[in-house]
Every structure is written in C-alpha cells, then in structure tokens.
Amino acid sequence: MMRRIKSTMWMAITLVFAVSCHNKENNNESCCSSEKVEVTDMQMDKLGITNREYLSAASKRALQWPELGNDWYIEFEVFDLKGDFAYEEGVVRRDPSALIKENGKYYVWYTRSTGKTDGFAGDIEKDKVFPWDRCDIWYATSEDGVTWKEEGPAVLRGEKGEYDDRSVFTVEIMKWDGKYYLCYQTVKSPYNVRVKNQVGLAWADSPDGPWTKSKDPILSPADNGIWEGEVQNRFKVKKKGDFDSHKVHDPCIIPYKGKFYLYYKGEQMGEEVTFGGRQIRHGVAIADNPKGPYVKSPYNPISNSGHEICVWPYNGGIASLITTDGPERNTIQWSPDGVNFEIQSSIKGAPHAIGLNRAADNEKDPTEVLRWGLTHEYRTYDWQYIRGFRSRKVKNHTAIGEEGE
C-alpha cells in the first residue's frame, strides 16, 4: 500500500512540476530552481545532483521516484524456430497465444491466413484488407518449444451473416476446471475502416478440440460514439465515446480472486496521435463464469498506454507488460487488485504480440513467465511468421574483461 501511495504521489508531483514550468514565462532557470526541496547527501550522491540549491525539473522528478529496485528489469532477444514455424512465404502466422503444457508437449494457438494484403483501395468484399483479415485460428504442438508441428485449424470463421463470418484472430488460451477456453477477436463482413469488431469464445474438453463456439460475442465496443457523415474515414467523428468505442482487441481471460478477468485493448472512434503516440488503452471486464456475462469495469480504462495484452498473476495481483503505444509504453506494471496498475520497471522494449509461457512458475520471480515464449515478426507487411523469444534479468553492466559481481 505504501508503494502505491508513493508512486501515485510521484506521478501527481511530476504533473504539477511539468504544468508549473510550462506556464512560466521566459525564465526557465527561476522556474526550475525557485521551489525549495529537501535533498539528502545520499540522494545527491545516488542521483548525481551537482547543487541542491539548483534543481532542474528532471532532478525534482527523480527525487520523487519510489525505491523499486531492479527485480522487474529485463531485456529480450528473439530467434527463429524450426519445423512448421519456420518462415513460409505465402502464409501468415501471427499473434501466438500463451503456451500451455499438456500431455507432455507444449500447445499454442495462433492466427493463420494465406495470400497478400490488398488494403481498402479495391473490393473489400473480395480483397484481404489486413494481414489478420480472412483468418482462422490454428494450433501447433512442440516437445521442446523450438521445433513445432502444425496440427490444423481449431476455430474457423462463422457462416455468412454471423458475427464472426469475416475473420477470427488474435487468440488466447485459458485452462480452468478441466476445460479449455479460447477467446479471440471477430469481424463480421464487410470489413471496412469503421467496422466494430467483437470478442468471441470457444471451449473444449481437450486442447485438441473439438471446440464449441459461443453463439454471440462475449464483449463488444462501447456504443456511445458518433461518426461524422457516411464517408469511410475512422478519424471523422462528432463524438469519440469511451476508450473502446471502436474496437475491442487482444482479449485474455485470467482466473482471479474467484472471478474471471477479461483484459482487452480498446480503440476509440476518432483515435488521435498524442505526445505518447497512438491513443491505445487497456480495459477489463469481469464475470463469475468463464462463459460470461462479462461486465466492463467502471474504472476503465485501466491503462493509458499499451498495445497487445500480456498479463499474468503474481504475488496476489496481476502484472502487465505495456508496449508500443502511449506515454507509459515499454514498462512492466503491477496491480494489487487487477485494476489499479503502477509502473515497476521501464525496459528497452519487447517483442511483438508475446505469447508467454503459462507452464512456468509465475510466483518464482516477477518476470519468470517471460523468460521464454513466442512472438511474431513481420518479414514484410504481407508475410508474418512466429518466432521465439528469451529474456534475461539485468542487475548490472560491465565492459569486456571487467570483473562483474
């Protein structure tokens, strides 16, 4: 609790300093040095402050940082896989789910399609507008996590007129009470730039299926934005609406505190580019049963940054890897209640669309589930393939030949 309070205070004070300095006129030095701040000798030494009487805005922010240590700080590398996950031109394999281990082998589910991407300039009824358009969900198995065998489709697109008739993609796996659940994005034709995608669910008694699909979506975008005109332009709006008024993406269900937390990425109608990049935020919807109904949290959005959802239980709370978009991108965050997240580390970056290893002991270390797993990579915009990743904890840095600790 104290760490949460200190972190919240740090963020609030940072904003106060930033606003006050921005509003000062033509006197940056007096702006940044006029307020008196107590600085200990230990802080002077650790932060390398030259003179406690002259503190820049950056030094003032640093003085408010909580003492978090570096247990959450990691670096990543990626590598090619073997078997059916080796690069194959003409086939798109992307957005791997988390890994689970069943029957002595690893299982993963992923988005699969064939053919190049055409975009929106042609006939959207016939063309493929995105790499994740006209996709089905497939699965593969591996004994060592490196050489993979593609087993075939798990969840196919629906019949014409159904909510998932155009594409099913970006899948996640959850095992609970002897059953297996896949949640994933869905699109109904026609796939135009204003289409509002939804989230579907399928379940099975075995990781090999067969899978039963939900007749209706389990999550939909907020219905409180207003488009401007009939032109197919997703940036023209009269009212933007909630953070998820356009799309709900990247679903992931986590059993937590006797309930089921569906974390997802929200995209807003009229989405802007701000000082942090795209306006991408995360939300959560909660249910008493894996099949729903899922009710969106009144605290949404629960992040101001991020892209693909990557969450895991740790130390009684939920951890989240925040990547790609927003002012807090490239951070790992943790929440004691699954809703209120705080930054634990700022990292160099992470691979795209991480599928973390749910077979790992997530309580062994804050980032143990990220020690290895799967990702995807763009060879070109048309062709993506699944690769592996590793991470390592970083405690110190040394030059070649230097003695480390």
- Classify domain 74-393 at the CATH class level: mainly beta
β-pairing verdict for 147-155 and 82-83: parallel
User: pLDDT tens digits, the chain, 405 residues: what are they?
Assistant: 434 434 433 443 333 333 334 444 444 444 444 557 889 999 999 999 999 999 999 999 999 888 878 899 999 999 999 999 999 999 999 999 999 999 999 999 999 999 999 999 999 999 999 999 999 999 999 999 999 999 999 999 999 999 999 999 999 999 999 999 999 999 999 999 999 999 999 999 999 999 999 999 999 999 999 999 998 999 999 999 999 999 999 999 999 999 999 999 999 999 999 999 999 999 999 999 999 999 999 999 999 999 999 999 999 999 999 999 999 999 999 999 999 999 999 999 899 999 999 999 999 999 999 999 999 999 999 999 999 999 999 888 778 887 755
CB contact at 8 A, 133 and 191: yes
Please give the full DSSP string across 272-302, using - where no structure is assigned: -EETTEE-EEEEEEEESSTT---EE-TT---
163, 233, 90, 136: CA torsion to nearest 10: -10
pLDDT at position 344? 96
Domains of the chain, by residue range, sit at: 2-63, 74-393
CB contact at 8 A, 308 and 349: no
pLDDT at position 67? 81
Q: Is the pTM of this model over 0.85?
A: yes
Phi and psi torsions of 252, nearest 5°: -150, 125
Alpha carbon distance 32, 35 (integer Å): 7
CB contact at 8 A, 306 and 265: yes
